[in-house]
Amino acid sequence: MPRPRTPDPLIDEIRAIREERSAAFGNDVRRLGEDAAKLQDSLKAKVIPAPKRPLRGPSGPGRGPDATKK
């Protein structure tokens, strides 16, 4: 069962763009993926990668790397 849509304007805008782009390619997943790959390739030189940083796991009692230590 699909989740009810949230009344968030930003999410609604993203959904509308996603539906519009999908319709532009006839809802063909392969064509949409090919276009996304071309777009990604064209942006490679323009995108600055995020800095590497250690991943943080969940925190709190009973969580994280020390959770199993006694």
The pLDDT score that the predictor gives to residue 23 is 95
Helix-, strand-, coil-residue percentages of the chain, each rounded to 5:
45, 0, 55
- Cα–Cα distances (Å) from 55 to 11, 13, 32, 62, in that order, read 27, 30, 31, 18
Series of mean pLDDT values for 10-residue runs along the chain (70 residues): 76 93 94 90 77 72 56
- Cα–Cα distances (Å) from 68 to 60, 63, 64, in that order, read 13, 8, 9
> Domain segments of the chain: what residues?
9-43
This prediction's pTM: 0.47
Max Cα distance, the chain (Å): 57
The pLDDT score that the predictor gives to residue 6 is 66
